[in-house]
Amino acid sequence: MPRPCKRRRVCALPERPNFGPVGAGPVRQSVPMTVDEFETIRLIDLEGLTQEACAGQMEVSRATVQAIYGSARHKLAQALVQGRELVIGGGDFVLCTGEGQGCGCGHCHKKRGHHKEDQP
């Protein structure tokens, strides 16, 4: 019997869940990206965290982050190179409450005031 999948901790949902080419006519089949894949791209590429630090933030192993990150980069490349719409949603995750272990590191949107619900 396989081990149950551990839910990944995600700081916030993306502000815009759909990205795609503008004015290019009909969009080809979309590329689905899970919220946890989006979070690894945000933490590693935007925030500059290492895979190990990202794993700590998301409360999963480094090997899990490496697999999620590889999948996310492949999907991002598909959308950019093939001119397809990127649709972010779903996945096995839990939203961070802004409290608890790992939230004091400065990378949490809720602690920095960047969470969508906190903005006027």
pLDDT for position 47? 94
Is residue 52 included in any domain, yes or no? yes
Is residue 70 included in any domain, yes or no? yes
pLDDT for position 81? 93
pLDDT band at 115 (very low <50, low <70, confident <90, very high): very low
| Total number of domains constituting the chain | 1
Q: At residue 116, does pLDDT exceed 50?
A: no
Distance CA 11, CA 24 (A): 33
pLDDT for position 45? 96
Measured between alpha carbons, how far is residue 27 from residues 20, 21, 30, 54, 103 in Å?
A: 8, 7, 8, 33, 39
Is residue 48 included in any domain, yes or no? yes
> Does residue 16 or residue 102 have the better pLDDT?
16
Is residue 78 included in any domain, yes or no? yes
pTM score, whole prediction: 0.79
| CATH number reported for the structural domain that contains residue 40 in this entry | 1.10.10
Is residue 47 included in any domain, yes or no? yes
Is residue 7 included in any domain, yes or no? yes
Domain membership of residue 80 as a residue range:
1-14+31-97
pLDDT band at 34 (very low <50, low <70, confident <90, very high): very high
